[in-house]
Amino acid sequence: MSGAPAPAPAPAGARFNPPPSWPVPTGFDPRRGHLADPTWPAPPEGWNFWVADPTVGREGATLPSTRLPRGKLEAGERRRLALVLAGLLVVGVPLVWWAVTSEEPVAEGVGSCWTGDEWAEPVSCDSSEAVYTVEEEVTSPEQCSQSSPGYFEEGGTVLCLRKIG
């Protein structure tokens, strides 16, 4: 009776692909109840009425593979996630390593160590440059012990020094 058979049900994310000999109007989609003209010629043998819609996919993502056919979307999303994770690794690992290995600010109170040159600077007590350590914190130089070789004065605080070693 009819030269134009009803197309098979559409898979998800598919677009209707009419045979070249079918003059379908714009917007024709059998999923929306549109009927094919029965006088249209039969489609070629094995004609695929449904093709992946190339416009289906995510829009506006920050990565370039935004418009993928739905069939490839799963793989595309996995690749996107892998890229995100790789990016986080590339950025995050050096940051964490830097945070862990960078030197902590050196304390300047009792127990802190200092260089012995003219511009004494606080250094780690493990450093070979450490010459003095702060023995106690007092309010005037006279309060430092007799054995103290010197002191630093900071504001109203006097740091009494002891030579290391």
* Distance of closest approach, residue 83 Cβ to other proteins, in angstroms: 9
> If binding is defined by CB under 8 A, does position 74 make contact with other proteins?
no
Measured in degrees and rounded to the nearest 5, phi and psi for residue 92 equal -75, -40
Q: What binding mask, one character per residue, do residues 135-154 give for other proteins by CB under 8 A, x or -?
A: --------------------
Q: Count residues binding other proteins (CB under 8 A).
A: 34
Which one of 95, 107, 110, 164 is in contact with other proteins (CB under 8 A)? 95
Stretch that binds other proteins, among 42-50, 54-62, 101-109, 140-148 (CB under 8 A): 54-62
Stretch that binds other proteins, among 81-89, 106-114, 139-147, 152-160 (CB under 8 A): 81-89
- For residues 68 and 51, give the distance between their C-alpha atoms in angstroms, rounded to a whole number: 13
Nearest 10 degrees: CA dihedral of 142, 147, 152, 155? -30
> If binding is defined by CB under 8 A, does position 26 make contact with other proteins?
yes
- Could you tell me which residues come within 8 angstroms of residue 117 by beta carbon, excluding any fewer than 6 positions away? none
Decide if 131 contacts 118 (C-beta within 8 A).
no
Decide if 121 contacts 114 (C-beta within 8 A).
yes
Query: How far is CA 30 from each of CA 18, 35, 49, 51, rounded to the nearest angstrom?
Result: 10, 6, 10, 14
> If binding is defined by CB under 8 A, does position 100 make contact with other proteins?
no
Interface ranges with other proteins (CB under 8 A): 1-3, 13, 15, 25-29, 32-35, 37-39, 53, 55-63, 67, 84, 87-88, 91, 95, 99
